[in-house]
């Protein structure tokens, strides 16, 4: 018989283990308390580091925001509890609060069996898995809002789980990418109508000082000036903003950083992605065989296409297969020919002259 297991007399041990698995706020904001509205811009970073280390120990990261406040990422639940009770950093009075968005994440699950289940009931059943809010995605058909089987879940964690358990079903969690925020007043992206400081613009024709309710003019976007409405999903500006939001959420970076990344990846005006890739391939072929492109000025793009089996061109035969008796050839392999035979392609090797040839040269010099 094996060793007898010691079971707990009550459920306190189980509740204690569950509490350890509950999520906690790992990103917190530290602000200075000052009558003169002072921040951490005038505080030595050495003093800040020493004060935090002496109070709660070594943390994951400390970052000063544009506002002058500190964004602190803790590494454990114990540190989160300690820093939440902190009233002073060295001699500086401070307040600590959880960040409004970094401590949560949103994901989408799809389940037809939950189509007629209220979202309040779903939230209650998924609370033990870190879900704090559930919202059902709705679509508009013929002027009516219809429920869908897609649910947006808000997790009390900056990292999304791969899946969740909905009763006996295992549901995959996908990253939720919201649509770009468009102002209903000026039609620009990035802010709402309540915070708009711009001029009223029509969502249909893009002109100023009137709305789109009674407008019958020709469609013109207020953002990209294209022949479509400002709310069209085919608008290049809308697609650009959508990609910026996607990069921001997936890489967990700020909006300006994500905008720089997407802008660097976007081709120049008038050049599509396929055209840019085609130009890069043709440039590489010209670098491989520049003599053919210089001699033939009428070479078409068809002849500049790389061969289908590129590995045949770049396969270098081993030294054991290279004949040493044949003379060196100064001709380069024709990459544009129909034949893919690369047997004439040889590496430059230092040939070993036979001893008999060396003795013949010495006799000739002696005579």
Render pLDDT for 99-157 as a digit per residue (tens, 0 to 9).
988 899 999 999 999 999 999 999 999 999 999 999 999 998 988 999 999 999 999 98
Highest average pLDDT, of 69-73, 101-105, 326-330, comes from 69-73
pLDDT tens figures, 156-170: 988 899 999 999 999
Q: Are 290 and 336 in contact (CB under 8 A)?
A: no
Give the single-character DSSP code of 182: B
pLDDT tens figures, 259-296: 999 999 876 655 555 555 556 555 555 555 544 444 44
- pTM equals 0.58
User: CA–CA separation, 98 vs 66, rounded Å?
Assistant: 17
Q: At 141, give phi and psi (nearest 5°).
A: -130, 120
Q: Is 340 left (phi over 0), alpha (psi -120 to 50) or beta?
A: alpha
Q: At 151, give phi and psi (nearest 5°).
A: -125, 135
- Of the candidate ranges 18-22, 222-226, 265-269, 309-313, the one whose mean pLDDT is the lowest: 309-313
Per-residue tokens: 221: 């976007």
Query: Residue 221: which residues within 8 A CB-CB, separation 6 or more?
Result: 206, 227, 228, 229, 230, 232, 235, 237
Q: Are 306 and 285 in contact (CB under 8 A)?
A: yes
Q: Longest C-alpha distance within the chain, in Å? A: 111
pLDDT tens figures, 237-248: 999 999 999 998
* pLDDT, mean over the chain: 78
pLDDT tens figures, 187-196: 999 888 988 9
Q: Is the pLDDT of residue 53 over 80?
A: yes
Average pLDDT over residues 22-29: 87
Q: Is the pLDDT of residue 309 over 60?
A: no
Task: State how far Cα 62 lies from the chain centre.
Answer: 23
Task: State how far Cα 57 lies from the chain centre.
Answer: 32
pLDDT band for position 21 (50/70/90)? low
Specify the pLDDT at position 153: 96
Query: Residue 289: which residues within 8 A CB-CB, separation 6 or more?
Result: 332, 334, 335, 336
Q: At 72, give phi and psi (nearest 5°).
A: -115, 130
List the one residue out of 167, 48, 33, 40 whose CA is nearest residue 113.
Answer: 167
């Amino acid at each position: 018989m094996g060793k007898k297991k010691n079971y707990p007399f009550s459920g306190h041990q189980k509740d204690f283990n569950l509490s350890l698995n509950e999520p906690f706020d790992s990103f917190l904001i530290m602000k200075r308390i000052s009558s003169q509205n002072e921040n951490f811009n005038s505080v030595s970073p050495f003093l800040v580091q020493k004060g935090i280390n002496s109070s709660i120990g070594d943390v994951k990261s400390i970052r000063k925001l544009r506002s002058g406040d500190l964004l602190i990422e803790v590494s454990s639940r114990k540190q989160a509890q300690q820093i939440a009770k902190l009233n002073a950093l060295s001699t500086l009075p401070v307040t600590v609060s959880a960040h409004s968005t970094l401590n949560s994440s949103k994901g989408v699950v799809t389940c037809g069996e939950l189509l007629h289940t209220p979202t309040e009931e779903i939230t209650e059943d998924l609370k033990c898995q870190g879900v704090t809010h559930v919202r059902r995605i709705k679509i508009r058909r013929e002027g009516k809002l219809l429920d869908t089987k897609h649910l947006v879940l808000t997790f009390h964690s900056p990292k999304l789980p791969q899946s969740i358990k909905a009763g006996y079903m295992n549901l995959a969690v996908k990253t939720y990418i919201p649509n770009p925020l468009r102002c209903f007043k000026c039609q620009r992206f990035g802010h709402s109508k309540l915070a708009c400081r711009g001029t009223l613009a029509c969502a249909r024709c893009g002109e100023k000082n009137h709305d789109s309710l009674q407008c019958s003019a020709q469609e013109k976007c207020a953002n990209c000036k294209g022949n479509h409405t400002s709310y069209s999903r085919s608008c290049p500006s809308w697609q650009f903003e959508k990609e910026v939001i996607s990069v921001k959420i997936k890489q967990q970076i700020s909006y300006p950083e994500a905008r720089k990344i997407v802008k660097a990846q976007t081709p120049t005006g008038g050049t599509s992605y396929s055209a840019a890739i085609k130009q890069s391939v043709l440039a590489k072929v010209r670098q491989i065989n520049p003599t053919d492109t210089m001699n033939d000025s009428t070479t078409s793009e068809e002849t500049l296409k790389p061969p289908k089996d590129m590995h045949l061109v770049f396969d270098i035969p081993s030294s054991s297969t290279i004949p040493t008796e044949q003379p060196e050839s100064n001709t380069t392999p024709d990459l544009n020919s129909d034949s893919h035979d690369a047997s004439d392609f040889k590496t430059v090797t230092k040939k070993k002259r036979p001893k008999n040839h060396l003795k013949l040269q010495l006799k000739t010099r002696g005579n």
